[in-house]
């Protein structure tokens, strides 16, 4: 007969799992490392889940949405990729319903005394978490002193100091703060998503450079070699040392660390799914002038041409087939630009031209 038993005494339970818990949650740290390390609060000594996530290679640019093509109608310049800050400001075109056309006006609202239109928030989720984590670390060290557990005390202190060492290698700030572009000309931009949705943006040249076409290499606090030294050597040594000390802590402190890392993993997971703009002050005003829902590609294209009152960009756009059929369609659309938008049936016109083309081929 099989007898299944649970451990009955407290010390029969092994809590060496604390070393595993300390490494769980790496994906959340990797995904949010730029939000964590943009604020001075990252230098607070504290426990975080999976600190090895901060050993990742430093990115050369802030994240961009590669699927969005940008056409500057004012200068005829084209680029690919919507910047991190533009996505936070008005969302990505990929999130819009298929074939939706919207018209936005984006204005900078920075005060004359402030030259930082984009800057980290003081009360961001990760700053609040940094303070709470620091307080939790102090509480755990205090408890270790009460229990006279030197291994736990030194382990928690060492692991807490690992975090600012690793963050120092990734500490960054946006590189375009204080950008001035006199004279500040008007710009019209066309953002085109693979789903067929189109956003037309009216803004000043300075806004265009900051949000849409200006490259955004992060300005790091330390050089790449210093970062490798801090992270790979100093951070790595303290990380391994603290795990060895955790293994030699008393049962009570191991239990406390299990609870602490479980809570921290949950909190960082919640912070990772919050909107990124909660971590930033964006001194821009976005006004949606118009939103047009469409069912077909041709209707979306016509709506965009009608909104811009231009068709020249459509003749040169790589998303539109370069054929006689589409050139004829664009020509008919151009003749209706000054009419009400509903007067031109984009899809029916396209069908009519296709039938005419088929008839010509049959003859």
Q: Give tens-digit pLDDT for 131-162.
A: 999 999 999 999 999 999 999 999 999 999 98
Give me the pLDDT at residue 21, please: 66
Residues 273 and 336 in one domain: no
Last residue of a domain, one of 263, 278, 293: 278
Please name the residue that has the structure tokens 């680029």: 79
Residues 318 and 264 in one domain: no
Distance of CA 291 to the CA centre of its chain: 25
Give me the pLDDT at residue 93, please: 65
Q: Which two tokens stand for residue 311?
A: 């068709």
> Nearest to residue 18, comparing CAs of 317, 245, 312?
245
Residues 221 and 268 in one domain: yes
Residues 18 and 152 in one domain: yes
Give me the pLDDT at residue 74, please: 86
Give me the pLDDT at residue 249, please: 86
Residues 240 and 316 in one domain: no
- Are residues 313 and 71 in contact, defined by beta-carbon separation less than 8 angstroms? yes
Total domains, the chain: 2
| Within-domain flag for 251 | yes
| Within-domain flag for 199 | no
Residues 261 and 349 in one domain: no
* Helix, strand, coil percentages, rounded to 5, for the chain: 50, 15, 35
Give me the pLDDT at residue 183, please: 66
| Within-domain flag for 189 | no
| Within-domain flag for 111 | no
Strands 198-204 and 101-108: parallel
Residues 159 and 252 in one domain: yes
| Within-domain flag for 316 | yes
Residues 230 and 311 in one domain: no
Angstrom distance (rounded) from CA 331 to CA 350: 12
| Within-domain flag for 134 | yes
Torsion of CA 125, 131, 132, 135, to 10 degrees: 180
Residues 166 and 238 in one domain: yes
Give me the pLDDT at residue 7, please: 55
- Alpha helices (H) in the chain, listed in sequence order: 18-21, 26-37, 84-90, 125-146, 150-170, 205-208, 224-228, 236-247, 251-272, 297-308, 312-315, 324-334, 346-362
Range of the domain at 312: 307-362
- Are residues 320 and 138 in contact, defined by beta-carbon separation less than 8 angstroms? no
Residues 274 and 311 in one domain: no
Over the chain (363 residues), what is each successive 10-residue block's mean pLDDT?
55 58 78 89 93 80 81 86 87 79 89 69 93 96 94 93 88 71 80 89 88 80 74 76 86 89 92 89 90 91 92 83 87 89 88 79 60
Residues 247 and 314 in one domain: no
Strands 101-108 and 284-292: antiparallel
Residues 165 and 313 in one domain: no
| Within-domain flag for 254 | yes
Give me the pLDDT at residue 299, please: 92
Torsion of CA 185, 304, 197, 285, to 10 degrees: 40
Q: Would you give the DSSP letter of residue 15?
A: -
> Nearest to residue 202, comparing CAs of 216, 177, 185, 217?
185
Residues 299-325 as b/e (b if ≥16 CB within 10 A, e otherwise) read: bbbbbbbbbbeebebbeebeebeeeee
Give me the pLDDT at residue 254, please: 87
Please name the residue that has the structure tokens 């085109």: 192
| Within-domain flag for 273 | yes
């Amino acid at each position: 007969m099989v007898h299944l038993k649970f451990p009955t005494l407290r010390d029969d339970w092994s809590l060496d799992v604390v070393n595993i818990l300390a490494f769980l949650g790496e994906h959340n740290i990797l995904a949010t490392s730029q939000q964590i390390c943009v604020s001075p609060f990252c230098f607070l000594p504290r426990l975080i889940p999976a600190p090895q996530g901060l050993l990742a290679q430093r990115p050369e640019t802030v994240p961009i949405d590669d699927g969005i093509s940008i056409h500057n109608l004012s200068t005829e310049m084209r680029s690919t990729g919507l910047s991190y800050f533009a996505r936070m400001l008005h969302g990505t075109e990929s999130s819009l319903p298929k074939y939706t056309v919207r018209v936005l006006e984006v204005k900078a609202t920075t005060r004359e005394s402030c030259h930082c239109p984009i800057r980290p928030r003081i009360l961001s989720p990760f700053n609040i978490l940094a303070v709470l984590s620091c307080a939790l670390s102090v509480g755990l060290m205090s408890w270790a002193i009460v229990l006279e557990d030197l291994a736990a005390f030194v382990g928690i202190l060492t692991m807490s100091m690992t975090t600012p060492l690793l963050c120092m290698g990734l500490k960054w700030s946006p590189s375009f703060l204080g950008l001035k572009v006199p004279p500040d000309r008007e710009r019209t931009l066309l953002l085109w998503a693979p789903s067929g949705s189109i956003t037309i943006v009216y803004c000043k040249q300075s806004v265009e450079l900051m949000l849409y076409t200006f490259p955004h290499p992060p300005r790091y606090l330390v050089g790449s070699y210093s970062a490798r030294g801090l992270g790979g050597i100093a951070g790595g040594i303290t990380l391994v040392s603290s795990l060895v000390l955790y293994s030699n802590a008393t049962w009570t402190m191991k239990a406390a660390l299990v609870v602490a890392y479980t809570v921290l993993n949950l909190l960082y997971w919640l912070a990772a799914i919050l909107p990124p703009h909660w971590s930033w002050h964006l001194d821009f005003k976005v006004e949606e002038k118009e939103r047009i829902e469409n069912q077909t590609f041709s209707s979306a294209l016509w709506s965009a041409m009608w909104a811009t009152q231009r068709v020249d960009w459509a003749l040169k756009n790589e998303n539109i087939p370069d054929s006689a059929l589409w050139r004829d369609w664009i020509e008919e659309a151009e003749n209706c630009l000054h009419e009400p938008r509903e007067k031109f049936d984009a899809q029916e016109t396209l069908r009519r031209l296709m039938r005419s083309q088929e008839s010509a081929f049959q003859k």
